Structure 1
């Protein structure tokens, strides 16, 4: 197992000593904790990489972190006690990977590309129970769980896609974005990612959500569990999310079980500004319209 519950950055911020803290961690976690410590050292002391000997060791450590991400053993962002936390050290490892990795030629049958990150599914077999249609592109270092269906789409490094989720045609899951279980990402949707700033939270789509076609969810917005986002809704941190029933405006978060449509708010009686409107809570009629079709799985 990886550090599924451990936010190393919060431990360090609280002034705790790495050695002292490690005493309270089971043996199964100590290896990854040491990897974290090395990543922090590499991040803070760039000159380490200048040595040929050290550069190989540094790459191996960072590559190990990417492998753990790829296997879903660690996550950039995780929920504990109802709150989402960012593991900054994993973001640092991803950025170091871009620095250390070399460009290489990638032959994709119909064309070739030059990149630093190989494609994830090159080593996959049917045992992984992931369906992926060409010419989709899923980068190594992203995690795609069992029974996920991927139409031609793009999933970036650090992203997490939970089981039984559908990512439809030409949708993009950005770097470090977190998508839960049984989510439907409709065609042409953009789920924003973030690597920098390090402490910034990526976009989070919690379990059992439906994201309508051509919608854009960016800038670390959280769509809470069971929500439905209609077609063509754009939400960023500065987007006003108007709750019609409560007559209040929210920012950066769609409450659980909300149905959201595009709308506008009148400003000074002279013009209107685009917004997202929570028109109601999920009901049976909405569930029937947005339910996952098990036949597609």
Structure 2
């Protein structure tokens, strides 16, 4: 975690203690409010992340996730204007957009405590607190990025994609979309599922931590809830026998294995949009 003038170790210790004693102490005290605000500011400026990949594994920094939960306990809905509309929300909209190198279209809702690296393009969509979006990623129209979801660099989130959060319900891990992935239109990725580097997820796919991912060439189940890197996976179903009959349950079918660095035609980036 990058540190610019904040003693992260001391802040973490303070917040861990506050979380353990949250039912015994006043969360509205000046000290508690300041500690939570400092943690949210770390997330908002990209100096810290709720979760990140380390040696190929998703590591969750629980003290930062808990800081977000403490914020929900502390905050009261504040009335604000969004275009011609009036809103009442506990989490304010993100500021510091000007000069950040991030393109934001009218109608986009980006909450404070999320971070977008320079070069991110955000069409009308919603980005939740605690989420992280990497450089060069396109967040297309009507995308919903849930709280704490982690999106890599040069990712394309197509129109209507939904990425689940881990605040409500409090999942152990967030959704992770790795670098260079392409998520097809109206796809839903929830419950801590993960899409590997360079993978293409076909339109309308459903991926949760219990959805089988199957190799079409062998019939082998490759994983549950994880699309392997540099593959093309499309929505499918497989039959299951129940007392009431045979029904098709959703799965993902890996229909192609790409060479590392190979871009599927649908996943080629439009540099003009990102310039």
TM-score w.r.t. the length of structure 1 is 0.85
Cα displacement (A) at 1:193: 0.7
Which residue, 253, 260, 268 being the options, matches 1:277?
253
Q: Where does 1:230-245 land on structure 2 (aligned, <5 Å)?
A: 230-245=202-217
Would you say 1:169 and 2:145 are equivalent positions?
A: no
Give per-residue Cα distances to partners, 1:102-122, cap 9 Å, x unaligned: 3211112311111111111x4
Which residue, 26, 49, 73 being the options, matches 2:26?
49
Give per-residue Cα distances to partners, 1:104-141, cap 9 Å, x unaligned: 11112311111111111x4321x211111111100000
Cα displacement (A) at 1:258: 1.1
5+ residue gaps, structure 1: 4-27
Cα displacement (A) at 1:56: 1.1
Aligned to 1:255: 228
5+ residue gaps, structure 2: none
Residues 270 and 96 from structure 1, CA distance in 2 versus in 1: closer, same or farther, beyond 3 angstroms?
closer
User: In 2, Cα distance between the equivalents of 1:119 and 1:254?
Assistant: 33
Aligned to 2:122: 150
Q: Where does 1:185-200 land on structure 2 (aligned, <5 Å)?
A: 185-195=157-167, 200=172
Cα displacement (A) at 1:99: 0.9
Aligned to 1:23: none
User: In 2, Cα distance between the equivalents of 1:232 and 1:184?
Assistant: 15
Would you say 1:206 and 2:178 are equivalent positions?
A: yes
Structure 1 stretch displaced more, 194-203 or 172-181: 194-203
Cα displacement (A) at 1:264: 1.4
Give per-residue Cα distances to partners, 1:230-250, cap 9 Å, x unaligned: 100011112121112342112
Taking only aligned residues, the RMSD between alpha carbons, in angstroms, comes to 2.0
**Greater per-residue strand proportion:** 2
Q: Where does 1:280-295 land on structure 2 (aligned, <5 Å)?
A: 280-282=256-258, 287-295=264-272
Residues 30 and 65 from structure 1, CA distance in 2 versus in 1: closer, same or farther, beyond 3 angstroms?
closer
Which residue, 3, 7, 10 being the options, matches 1:34?
10
Cα displacement (A) at 1:287: 2.2
* 2:139–2:158 CA contact under 8 A, matched in 1: yes
Cα displacement (A) at 1:83: 1.3
Cα displacement (A) at 1:198: 5.5
Q: Where does 1:76-87 land on structure 2 (aligned, <5 Å)?
A: 76-87=50-61
Aligned length in residues? 268
Instruction: Look up the SS of the partner of 1:123 in the other structure.
Output: coil
Residues 72 and 286 from structure 1, CA distance in 2 versus in 1: closer, same or farther, beyond 3 angstroms?
closer
Cα displacement (A) at 1:30: 7.8
User: In 1, Cα distance between the equivalents of 2:149 and 2:237?
Assistant: 27
Which residue, 92, 104, 110 being the options, matches 1:138?
110
User: In 2, Cα distance between the equivalents of 1:29 and 1:285?
Assistant: 41
Aligned to 2:37: 63
Instruction: Look up the SS of the partner of 2:25 in the other structure.
Output: helix
Which residue, 55, 66, 69 being the options, matches 1:95?
69
Structure 1 stretch displaced more, 30-39 or 227-236: 30-39
Give per-residue Cα distances to partners, 1:15-54, cap 9 Å, x unaligned: xxxxxxxxxxxxx79810100000011111122216x6xx
User: In 2, Cα distance between the equivalents of 1:69 and 1:56?
Assistant: 20
